[in-house]
C-alpha cells in the first residue's frame, strides 16, 4: 500500500531568473552571483534509479515542473495545509520554489515471507528555490508542520488508516541540516500487519530533498541513500 500521492501545484507562469538578473544587474555591481538554477525536467534526470530502493522496484509515477523555471510567488504554505493534505501528498511546486521533480516507486512483487523486513513503496523529490534563505524557510516550515501533525486519520483505497508519529528527530546528512520522521500506520482492515512510513528532509543549499518509504519496520531513511541522491542532483550545477 502506498500512502502518499503526487500533487501538482506548480504555477503555469514561467520565470526566467537568469534573464531577469542580467537585465537588472549593473556591470559594476558587487552583488553576489545568483545561485544556478535547473528546470524541473533537468532535476528529474538526476533522481535516483528505482533500483536504489531495492531489487525489482519500478517507477510508478513521476512528475516535474517542466522545462522552464516557475514563479517564486508562493501559492501554498505548509502551515495553510491540513495535516492530511500536507502529509499525504508530495507537492513539486507552489511553495515559491523555482522547480521541482518527484518519482514515486513501488515494489510490484514484495516477498512477504521476509515480513517485516520489506519495503513496498517509496518516493523521492527535490524542490529548488531561488535562494538558500527561501529553501531554509520552507524546510523549517515543513519541520514545524510535521511536529504539529502527530496523529491524523485518512481514508485511502477504501481503507481507513491512522498515521501516528513514532519519532521526529533532527540530524545531519553530509553536514547538511536534516530531519527524520517515522509514522506508524494503523490500518483498521489489517489488524495484524504493521506498516511504517519513514520520511527524511534534507536542506542543502537552495534545494530541499525528501525521500520516504513504506515498510514493515520503523527504520529511518538511509543516510547513504540520501547522500547519493544529493550528489546526483548537485552534479547538475557543476558547470553553471
Amino acid 209: pLDDT:
98
Q: How far apart are CA 68 and CA 74, in angstroms?
A: 17
Does 17 score more than 60 pLDDT? no
Q: How confident is the model at residue 188 (pLDDT cuts 50, 70, 90)?
A: low
Amino acid 27: pLDDT:
44
Q: How confident is the model at residue 7 (pLDDT cuts 50, 70, 90)?
A: low
Q: How confident is the model at residue 152 (pLDDT cuts 50, 70, 90)?
A: confident
The mean of the pLDDT values for the chain is: 85
Q: How confident is the model at residue 141 (pLDDT cuts 50, 70, 90)?
A: very high
Amino acid 211: pLDDT:
97
Does 24 score more than 50 pLDDT? no
Amino acid 87: pLDDT:
87
Domains and CATH numbers, the chain: 5-22+32-237 (3.40.1000.70)
Amino acid at each position: 500500500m502506498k500512502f502518499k500521492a503526487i500533487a501538482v501545484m506548480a504555477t503555469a507562469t514561467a520565470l526566467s531568473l537568469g534573464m531577469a538578473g542580467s537585465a537588472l544587474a549593473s556591470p559594476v555591481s558587487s552583488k553576489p552571483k545568483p545561485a544556478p538554477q535547473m528546470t524541473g525536467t533537468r532535476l528529474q534526470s538526476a533522481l535516483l534509479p528505482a533500483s536504489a530502493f531495492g531489487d525489482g522496484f519500478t517507477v510508478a509515477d513521476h512528475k516535474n515542473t517542466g522545462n522552464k523555471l516557475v514563479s517564486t510567488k508562493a501559492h501554498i504554505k505548509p502551515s495553510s495545509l491540513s495535516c492530511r493534505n500536507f502529509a499525504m501528498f508530495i507537492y513539486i511546486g507552489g511553495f515559491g520554489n523555482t522547480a521541482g521533480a518527484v518519482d514515486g516507486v513501488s515494489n510490484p512483487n514484495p516477498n512477504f515471507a521476509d515480513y517485516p523486513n520489506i519495503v513496498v513503496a517509496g518516493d523521492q523529490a527535490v524542490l529548488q528555490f531561488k535562494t538558500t534563505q527561501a529553501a531554509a524557510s520552507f524546510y523549517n516550515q515543513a519541520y514545524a508542520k510535521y511536529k504539529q501533525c502527530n496523529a491524523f486519520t485518512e481514508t485511502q483505497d477504501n481503507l481507513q488508516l491512522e498515521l501516528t508519529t513514532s519519532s521526529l528527530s533532527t540530524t545531519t546528512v553530509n553536514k547538511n541540516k536534516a530531519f527524520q520522521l517515522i509514522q506508524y500506520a494503523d490500518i483498521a482492515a489489517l489488524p495484524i500487519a504493521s506498516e511504517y512510513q519513514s520520511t527524511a528532509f534534507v536542506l542543502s543549499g537552495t534545494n530541499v530533498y525528501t525521500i520516504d518509504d513504506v515498510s514493515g519496520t520503523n527504520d529511518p531513511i538511509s543516510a547513504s541513500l540520501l547522500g547519493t541522491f544529493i550528489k546526483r542532483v548537485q552534479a547538475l550545477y557543476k558547470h553553471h
